[in-house]
């Protein structure tokens, strides 16, 4: 295999882990890897290993074709632009179009579970990007519908643990979350593999856990009481706003619980095993390794 592989947004948390799996787990020679980012200096450590680092910003569509030149397979990491409605889909469409004109043969995209008619406020960005891939002249693409990261718990749990109260509008709905590093391994495996054609996978963890079940596990692990307090979606939004979260962002976060309450996150799949031949890390194992993150440490 001599394909040149490109990772966009490579300085993000997921992007770096993908680079690590390409170089380490999969032993892809650095000379075959291109990493694009808006901040090339942030990837100096990978450049030192022989990875080609190029500047690319999906907001600057005109420069993307050049950034993607000479690449066979490209991982398009969805951006974190949530503060300007419509902007993220435009960014992703620009990246898909540039991959097409640059002659990329296969694009891998990080989507979300069940984006169709989803309560998640940014689901149209992912659905629209999937549609852009389907409408493109790309020879092939793989959509990875990534479940939520365990790591997201680090946003809510430090404050919840401090008060002992975890406000939730998930109404007993399960979250089949997965470790971010496992998603990076899956993305790297598809990117470095030989899959052609059009594919969609949904990457979940090993089980769907309710907020009550997670709270019980966290309490047992940390020895700190944590009670889930059921609230409405509106009350959850107001609670975040009172604590300084801008309302549009609070609405996005609260829509996660609305989706869980509607049963949108509880589906456990076997797709991670199909791609990697391994089982993803369980929540128990992840918790044991990341206790400090949940109490606000690292
Ligand atoms: N499944 C989940 O639970 C979950 C949670 C959080 C986020 N996500 C999604 O998954 C993505 C990767 O997660 P992460 O943990 O790595 O997030 P992160 O650390 O916040 O990284 C943000 C990513 O967005 C890229 N980006 C932002 N603006 C861009 C632009 N104009 N052009 C090109 N790239 C741009 C960044 O690339 P550079 O900075 O290198 O340019 C970086 O890769 C996120 O961006 C988001 O779409 C999923």
Residue-wise pLDDT for 71-109, tens only, equals: 999 999 999 998 888 899 999 999 999 999 999 999 999
Residue 75 lies in a domain: yes
Residue 189 has pLDDT above 80, yes or no: yes
User: Could you give the percent of the chain with pLDDT greater than 70?
Assistant: 99
pLDDT at 222 over 90: yes
**Mean pLDDT confidence for 241-256:** 95
On whether residue 45 sits in a domain, the answer given is: yes
Assigned domain for 77 exists: yes
Pocket test for ligand 1, best of 74, 79, 280 (most atoms within 8 A of CB): 79
Mutate which of 6, 12, 45, 75 for ligand 1 pocket (most atoms within 8 A of beta carbon): 12
Here the CATH number for the domain that contains residue 40 is: 3.40.50.720
The residue whose CA is least distant from atom 13 of ligand 1 is 14
The answer to whether residue 241 sits within a structural domain is no
The tally of domains found in the chain comes to 1
Find the length of the chain.
Answer: 298
Q: Is the CB of 152 under 6 A from ligand 1?
A: yes
Is residue 298 scored above 60 in pLDDT? no
* Residue 147 alpha carbon to ligand 1 centre in Å: 15
| pLDDT value at residue 1 | 74
User: Has residue 215 got a pLDDT over 60?
Assistant: yes
User: 297: pLDDT confidence band, cut at 50, 70 and 90?
Assistant: low
CB of 281 sitting under 6 A from ligand 1: no
Cβ–ligand 1 contact at 283 (below 6 Å): no
Dist. CA 142–CA 4, nearest whole Å: 17
DSSP secondary structure letters along the chain: ----EEESSTTSHHHHHHHHIIIIIS---GGGEEEEES-GGGGHHHHTTT-EEEE--TT-GGGHHHHTTT-SEEEEPPP---SSTTHHHHHHHHHHHHHHHHT-SEEEEEE-S--TT-SSTTHHHHHHHHHHHHHS--SEEEEEEEPPBGGGHHHHHHHHHHHTEEEE-STT--B--B-HHHHHHHHHHHHHS---SEEEEEE--SS-B-HHHHHHHHHHHH----EEEE--HHHHHHHHHHTT--HHHHHHHHHHHHHHHTTSS----SHHHHHHSSPPPPHHHHHHH-HHHHTT--
User: Is the residue at 111 inside a domain?
Assistant: yes
The rounded Å distance from CA 58 to ligand 1 centre is 12
Task: Measure 78 CA to ligand 1 centroid, in angstroms.
Answer: 6
User: What pLDDT does residue 179 have?
Assistant: 98
Residue at 261 is within a domain: no
Residue 23, pLDDT score: 98
Taking the centre of ligand 1 as the mean of its atom positions, its distance from the CA of residue 2, in whole angstroms, is 27
Measured distance CA(138)–CA(125) in Å, rounded = 19
**Can you give the residue range of the structural domain that contains 27?**
5-148+178-204+267-281
> Ligand 1 center to residue 42 CA distance, Å?
14
295 part of a folded domain: no
Cβ–ligand 1 distance for 111 under 6 Å, the answer no
Closest residue to atom 12 of ligand 1, CA basis:
14
Q: How far is the CA of 220 from the centre of ligand 1 (A)?
A: 32
- Does residue 193 line the site of ligand 1, with CB under 6 A? no
13-62 pLDDT, tens digit each? 999 999 999 999 999 999 999 999 999 999 999 999 999 999 999 999 99
Reported as a pLDDT band with limits 50, 70 and 90, residue 169 is very high
Atom of ligand 1 nearest to the CA of 110: 10
In a domain, 244, yes or no: no
Angle made by CA atoms 239, 156, 58, in degrees to the nearest 5: 100
């Amino acid at each position: 295999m001599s394909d040149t592989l490109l990772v966009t947004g490579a300085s993000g948390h997921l992007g770096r882990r993908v680079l690590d799996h390409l170089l380490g787990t999969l032993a892809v020679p650095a000379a075959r890897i291109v990493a694009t980012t808006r901040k090339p200096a942030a990837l100096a450590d990978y450049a030192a290993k022989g990875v080609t680092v190029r500047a690319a910003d999906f907001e600057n569509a005109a420069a993307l074709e050049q950034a993607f030149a000479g690449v066979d397979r490209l991982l398009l990491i969805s951006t974190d632009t949530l503060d300007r409605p419509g902007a993220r889909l435009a960014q992703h469409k620009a990246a898909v179009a540039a991959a097409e004109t640059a002659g990329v043969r296969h694009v891998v995209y990080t989507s979300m579970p069940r984006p169709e008619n989803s309560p998640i406020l940014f689901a149209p960005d992912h659905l629209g990007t999937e549609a852009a891939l389907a409408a493109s002249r790309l020879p092939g693409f793989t959509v990875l519908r990534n479940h939520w990261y365990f790591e997201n718990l680090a946003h809510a749990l430090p404050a919840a643990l401090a008060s002992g109260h975890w406000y939730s509008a998930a109404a007993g709905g399960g979250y089949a979350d997965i470790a971010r590093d496992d998603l990076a391994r899956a993305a790297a495996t598809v990117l470095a593999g030989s899959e052609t054609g059009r594919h969609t996978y949904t990457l979940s963890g090993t089980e769907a856990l309710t907020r009550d079940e997670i709270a019980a596990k966290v309490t047992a692990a940390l020895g700190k009481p944590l009670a889930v307090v059921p609230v409405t979606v509106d009350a959850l939004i107001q609670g975040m706003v009172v604590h300084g979260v801008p309302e549009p962002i609070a609405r996005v976060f609260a829509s996660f619980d609305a989706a869980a309450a509607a049963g949108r996150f509880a589906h456990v799949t076997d797709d991670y095993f199909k791609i990697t031949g391994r089982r993803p890390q369980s929540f128990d194992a992840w918790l044991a390794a990341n206790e400090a993150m949940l109490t606000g440490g690292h």
